[in-house]
Amino acid sequence: MRPDTPATPAEPVDPVNHIAEAERLERIAGLYPEDAEQLLLQAAAHYELADARQRAASLYDGLLAGPPPELEQPHLVKALMAANLWEYGHEAEARAIITGIRTAAPKDPAAYVIVAEALESHDELEAAHESFTEALTLLLPEAERTNPPYETHPLLLGRHRVRRLIGAEHDEWDALADRVHKSEVTLDELHDPNRTWALGSDNPAELRAEILRLRAELGSYRQALSRPFPVAVLHWPSTELTELLAAYPSLSAEYPSHEEHLSTIESSLRELSASGTPNLGIVAGTIPSYEAFAASESSSPTDASLLPQYATTLAARGRAIPWPPERGTECWCGSGRGYGECHGAEE
């Protein structure tokens, strides 16, 4: 859940200028059009933190009305737009957008989280509970409930929290939320409605207990936010590599041939896996984005030291696909064959 207001510590240290950061992200989005969606969503979040909600709304409008290619997460953009609109007085429009999202039943956990939390923050607890439940029923079939995907955890935890607020008895979904919860402090304690009252207590023991709970909860959020990006290896598809070497022949030392490039990727990932490195991934490079990245680093695309930095940047923007591919899926190299019949056959 994104915070609605900036943090205000007693003694601010190096406070973020959210307007400046948002404007910087907008400029970067112009350099990286293929990443514009994520960059502009970050910019909108900074505008919201600065309470410049109209500027945030303009970015959401622009994304939804923009030219092709289509958005990767259109329902998430709509959900964020609805939450923002509701915060500055456009409740009717926000409700209409939320109704549209729920009717569309997207396969996007993040969109449901934003919708449900927006309803919850405006005391629409029953509607929030319905939204969380709808999402879990749609996105978490019974076969996946033994080990629910990470992206569904906020739905489980949010639903548990709302059910505590409305005084509902525990059910199977709540039991699953308890299982995915990693903190030493139980969910029942963290989501206890009486915690709000404890923060106003004059009893030092109650205050100390509540501080411990808050620290545990903060630790859980930090763990979620600091999940490592995949250790990513850069993959140049055949046509991109041909164009890259034609434009920057000095990089031929890095890439003697496309076949050797593909083989090196697979062997490098296997070595990393054997060494115990987790979260391995592959990112596909493109000439325009690589040139833009080099320009942003005030360097030349001929500088081979930029290549791993470029891969890391793409991974940080969510561009990595996990390695190894799941059983039965196509090989990462783009050959169209199954991984087990292609680069996976070397195992």
Tell me, yes or no, whether 158 lies in a domain.
yes
Tell me, yes or no, whether 39 lies in a domain.
yes
213 and 263 together in one domain:
no
196 and 132 together in one domain:
yes
Q: Which of 61-70, 130-139, 210-219 has the lowest mean pLDDT?
A: 210-219
Domain holding 255, by residue range, is 231-346
Average of per-residue pLDDT across 57-82: 89
213 and 290 together in one domain:
no
Res 83: pLDDT: 95
Res 12: pLDDT: 40
- Tell me the whole-structure pTM to 2 decimals: 0.59
pLDDT above 90 covers a percentage of the chain that reads 43
Tell me, yes or no, whether 11 lies in a domain.
no
**Number of domains composing the chain:** 2
Q: Which of 225, 250, 270 is the last residue of a domain?
A: 225
pLDDT in tens, 72-125: 889 999 999 999 999 989 999 999 999 999 999 999 899 999 999 999 888 899
User: What is the rounded average pLDDT for all residues in the chain?
Assistant: 84
Average of per-residue pLDDT across 150-172: 90
Q: Which position has the token pair 């630790």?
A: 219
Among 27-36, 124-133, 269-278, the range with the most confident prediction by mean pLDDT is: 124-133
Residues 6+ apart with CB under 8 A from 84: 44, 48, 53, 56, 57, 60
The residues facing 235 across adjacent strands are 284
236 and 212 together in one domain:
no
186 and 251 together in one domain:
no
209 and 323 together in one domain:
no
pLDDT in tens, 285-298: 998 888 887 887 78
CB 322 within 8 A of CB 331: no
Top-confidence residue, 213 or 70: 70
CB 177 within 8 A of CB 143: no
pLDDT band at 229; cut points 50, 70, 90: low
Token code pair at residue 29: 């989005």
68 and 151 together in one domain:
yes
pLDDT above 70 covers a percentage of the chain that reads 84
pLDDT in tens, 247-285: 999 999 999 999 999 999 999 999 988 888 878 889 999
Tell me, yes or no, whether 243 lies in a domain.
yes
Q: What is the CATH number of the domain that holds 120?
A: 1.25.40
Res 225: pLDDT: 44
| DSSP-derived pairing of the beta strands 231-235 and 280-284 | parallel
Res 313: pLDDT: 80
162 and 249 together in one domain:
no
293 and 186 together in one domain:
no
125 and 54 together in one domain:
yes
Q: Which of 169-178, 210-219, 257-266 has the lowest mean pLDDT?
A: 210-219
47 and 96 together in one domain:
yes
Res 228: pLDDT: 53
